[in-house]
Amino acid sequence: MLRFLTKSARPQPAPRPPAGRRISVVIPSYNHAAYIAQAIGSVLDQESPVDELIIVDDRSTDASRDVIARTIDGYAGPVRIRCELLDRNGGAHAAIAHGLSKASGDVLTILNSDDAYAPDRFRAIHAALPPDGDFIAFTGVDFMDDSGARLAEDDPVRVWYRDVLGQAGACPTIGFALLRANIAVTSGNLVFSRGLYERVGPFAAYRMCHDWDFLIRCMVHAEPIFVPGAHLRYRTHPTNTLKTTGDLMQGEGSAALKTYLALIAGGPTANRLAPTPENWPVYFRFFTATYAPWFTGQSIETVARQLFPDPETLPSWLSAEPAAPSGFLTAPAPEQDALALRRVVGLLMLR
C-alpha cells in the first residue's frame, strides 16, 4: 500500500464548528477518474473549511490515481490532506473503514468519489449539530447527471426522492422515516461523531445498503438529525451501484432490518425516540403492521416474522396481540394515521 501526505498552510479566519470539534472527510475512490477531481474540489472549497481530507483509492484501474495526484498537487489551503493508495480492492465498506481509521477528527463524514458537496454544506451542518454528545446527521440532496448538470424536475430519480420525502413527512420522527426509506440516499451524506462510530462499529460488508444499515444501527443510540437544504450533490450515471445491484436489495435490506430488530429487542434504547415497542407502545405496532420498508412491498411486521421463524427468537412485540387503547384503531386508514401521529407525539413529549 502506498500513501502520501500533504502539508497545509495556516487556516484563514472562517466559520468553525464548536470549540474542540475537528472534521475529517473520507473519500473512498474507485474508478471515478471523470468525477474525483470535482469531489475533492468540493471538500477543499467549503465556505466553512473542514480540518482533514483522507482519500482512499481502492485499487482503481482507471486514471483515478493520476487525477487525484494532479488535483491535490500544490494545494496550500487550510485542509490537511492524506492519500492512501491501497494495493488490493476491498470494496466501498473496507475503503471507508480504512479511511476512518486514519482520521484524526472527532466529527467524521464521507463523500463518495462520484458525488460533490455544496459549498455551504458544513456551514449548514455546524448550525444543526448539538453542542455536545453523540450524533448522526444528514442533509437534503440534489441530483446531477453524468456531466454535472442538474437533473430535470420530472427525472425518475428526482420524482422518487420527492416521494420518499413526502412519506417521511407522514412519520413522527426521522427514525420512523428511515425505516420506510433511506432518505439520506447515500453514505456520502452521513456526518457522525467519533464516539457514535466507535460504539456502533464500522459499515457492514454490504454492496448496496451499508449506509442504511449503519444509519438504523446508529439511531438506537442517537436520533438522526435532518438538515434541510440540498447540501449534497448526488450524481447519477451508468455505473451507479443503485443501477447495477437491484438483485441485492431484498437480501441486504432484510439482513439490515434483522440486525436493527435484534438490537431493539435487547431492552431500552439510549435514544428515547428510536422506533421500538417500548418507546412507542401504540404507534410502533400500527407502523410496523402498516408500512413496508424500501426493499419490499410487504409490511415490516410481515418481513420480521419471516426473519425470525423460530418462536424462541421471535421478538416479544410480534407474539403479542396489538393493543387498542381508546381513540386508536389498528386499521391503516389515512385519517387514523394522522390522528395517531398527533396523539403519540403529544404523549411522548410529556414523558
The CA-atom distances, in angstroms, between 268 and each of 108, 118, 214, 279 are: 27, 38, 19, 8
54-64: per-residue pLDDT in tens?
Answer: 999 999 999 99
Band of residue 266 on the pLDDT scale cut at 50, 70, 90: confident
Q: Let me know: does 60 contact 88? Beta carbons within 8 Å.
A: no
pLDDT at 241 over 70: no
84, 24, 76: which is closest to 57 by C-alpha? Answer: 84
pLDDT at 251 over 80: yes
Band of residue 336 on the pLDDT scale cut at 50, 70, 90: very low
pLDDT at 31 over 60: yes
* Cα gap 285→276, rounded to integer Å: 9
The CA-atom distances, in angstroms, between 132 and each of 126, 162, 194 are: 12, 32, 12
| Cβ neighbours, 10 Å, residue 334 | 8
Band of residue 240 on the pLDDT scale cut at 50, 70, 90: low
Band of residue 205 on the pLDDT scale cut at 50, 70, 90: very high
85-131: per-residue pLDDT in tens?
Answer: 999 999 999 999 999 999 999 999 999 999 999 999 999 999 999 99
Residue in the block written with cell 493508495: 85
Q: Name the residue type at position 25.
A: V
Q: What is the DSSP secondary-structure string of 88-124?
A: S---HHHHHHHHHHH---SEEEE--TT-EE-TTHHHH
pLDDT at res. 66: 98
pLDDT at res. 312: 84
Band of residue 245 on the pLDDT scale cut at 50, 70, 90: low
